[in-house]
Structure 1
């Protein structure tokens, strides 16, 4: 994995390159970024650059023996640790390393759900167990085979739990030329004793235009579809890839507008079948995507209403809709609508009954939008 293959994050790439050039590589670093931001890919590209035998100013060479091995994730001095769904207490990440390599090479922006789908996880909980912690200590206690640095990349240390205490001494006082790269999504779920021993590398979610361009150039989407998917994904390439799979039958914008118009007019004869049939039959992942789309649209309406048009990344019908809708409701109503939609999304993730949920959500929005005072002179969409 080379830096040039990773979407966006030019400032982060420059920082990582600088640490190598200035010989200021911290032995333990925490790459903290949301799902789908590319934080795992950045960690791999950083490790590859560090051990590249013919480094360039901006990237690893991509053709030396070290880079070729890194490209296939088979370098003997590159180790990975990650959550897995152990069937026995003695299993370690190495048990699933072939699945891991195939998964990362296919999708370097993967999230935990994608990784789960590559394994026979059944109903087991993801975990990094004590056997894995002991395996890490053993591997990193050995001398390097051929590279200058031994590198351990631990993906989602949030799942390490108290087993991480076994690694504290190794992280604090590692063997010479040993690098720990922890790639996390939620700092609050990592034990504090590990956080205190690492240097933070903060990675933000990707910008809308970066994802849109990625979808056009790498997934051959037309600009309109790429713009809509990038909008829903909200900085998460993994979510964008999920949405591509769902896109063929899912006309999100048309359904969203039709739903809101019936809510605005308090049209119960349409709201009930919409909830029972159109929305309830979308399927769980499409329902989550629909609600995410609705949340993001409400946020765009607020931005437009507050005079921040330059931050509204919409085109054509969606932009026209947001412009008109921004003059209808008060900020407080839109803010409350977002809260209701977020609660609904949370409930869908936990397998709530979609017929009941969408009907209840629709009725709450009717009460919120229809029976409150609107700004004087507002025009309906």
Structure 2
């Protein structure tokens, strides 16, 4: 992967190029950026540039033996570690390397949701286990085979539990010419002992223009559709591409049905919905809630008199306008807050049936009884 293939992020690319030109390559770097910002793709492009046999001023050459191996992710001095869904305590990332290569080559802006689709994950919790930590130490105790550098790209170190402390010594005192590139989304979830041993490379969210232009110029998406996806994705290119390749009408209809049941306080029908959503996978539940947050945000824009800024398909915009007729800005803010907390709870493996029942009851209070929560109190 070359820098030219990555959307936007010109300032970050230049910073990475400068570290090589000025011989300031840190042995442990943390690429910190939100989902869809291109942090993983940047790490791979940077690794390719470090190993390139004929470096160009602004990119790797793309044609040398090293670059050709990197294009297939088969370079012997390039190693990956990532969360996986272990069926045995001795499983390591190497057990899933073929699926990983296929996933990353197909989706350079890979998300955990997409990665899950390449594995028989069911409802298992992803993690990086102790066996994988030992495997990392074993691999990196050897000298580089072909390249000047031996490089490990560790995707989502947030999924390292206390076992991650096993890696501290090799991160702090690696073999010569060994480079750790950690690619993370949430700094607060990384072990502090690991965080303190890395050099931070902040990767910002992509701009609206970057996402829109990529969809139009590289993917051939019609302008209006690209604008809608770029706006609703909030700079998350992964989400923008998902919107264009998956049918989102099911989320739209399910979310509206849920709100209607809550508005009408139809207890039995609402319970049927809770049963249905509780049986969905964790990632589907998260995507459903994310869609709801975006949709309520659009309703808030309509209520604020900024309907011209709404970037929804015509049918969805029409229902948003009708929905806005029975809501206030305070209601949209309260519902958004409830949904954001629910999304966090799903990520933390909350019991889905209890969670969605609780969320439904809170939305009933807001929509049906018009009770707006303020702190620990409720007002009408």
Is the shorter-chain TM-score for this pair beyond 0.5, marking a shared fold?
Answer: yes
Shift in alpha-carbon separation, 1:214–1:121, aligned structure 2, 3 A: same
Deviation, 1:367, is 4.8
> Which residue does the alignment assign to 1:235?
235
> Which residue does the alignment assign to 2:335?
337
> Which residue does the alignment assign to 1:100?
100
Contact 2:293 2:339 in 1 (8 A): yes
1:220 and 2:182 equivalent? no
The secondary structure found in structure 2 opposite 1:101 is helix
Deviation, 1:76, is 0.8
Shift in alpha-carbon separation, 1:336–1:61, aligned structure 2, 3 A: same
In 1, Cα distance between equivalents of 2:142 and 2:318 = 62
Deviation, 1:126, is 1.9
Contact 2:265 2:368 in 1 (8 A): no
The secondary structure found in structure 1 opposite 2:247 is helix
Deviation, 1:151, is 0.5
TM-score normalised by L of structure 2:
0.78
Deviation, 1:155, is 0.7
Shift in alpha-carbon separation, 1:297–1:249, aligned structure 2, 3 A: closer
> Which residue does the alignment assign to 2:173?
173
In 1, Cα distance between equivalents of 2:343 and 2:109 = 23
> Which residue does the alignment assign to 1:295?
293
Deviations 1:309-344 (A, max 9, x none): 99x574896999999999998764443232134345
1:125 and 2:125 equivalent? yes
Structure 1 window deviating more from structure 2 (221-230 vs 241-250): it is: 241-250
The secondary structure found in structure 1 opposite 2:180 is strand
Q: Which runs of 5+ in 2 are unaligned?
A: 373-380
Shift in alpha-carbon separation, 1:147–1:256, aligned structure 2, 3 A: same
1:111 and 2:94 equivalent? no
TM-score normalised by L of structure 1:
0.78
In 2, Cα distance between equivalents of 1:122 and 1:268 = 33
Q: Which runs of 5+ in 1 are unaligned?
A: 373-381
Shift in alpha-carbon separation, 1:182–1:145, aligned structure 2, 3 A: same
In 2, Cα distance between equivalents of 1:38 and 1:368 = 44
In 1, Cα distance between equivalents of 2:99 and 2:292 = 35
The secondary structure found in structure 2 opposite 1:247 is coil
> Which residue does the alignment assign to 1:58?
58
> Which residue does the alignment assign to 1:137?
137
1:363 and 2:361 equivalent? no
CA RMSD of aligned residues (A): 4.1
Contact 1:51 1:148 in 2 (8 A): yes
> Which residue does the alignment assign to 2:156?
156
Shift in alpha-carbon separation, 1:256–1:145, aligned structure 2, 3 A: closer
The secondary structure found in structure 1 opposite 2:25 is coil
Shift in alpha-carbon separation, 1:248–1:153, aligned structure 2, 3 A: closer
> Which residue does the alignment assign to 1:376?
none
1:207 and 2:207 equivalent? yes
Contact 2:338 2:359 in 1 (8 A): no
Structure 1 window deviating more from structure 2 (321-330 vs 355-364): it is: 321-330
In 2, Cα distance between equivalents of 1:286 and 1:131 = 29
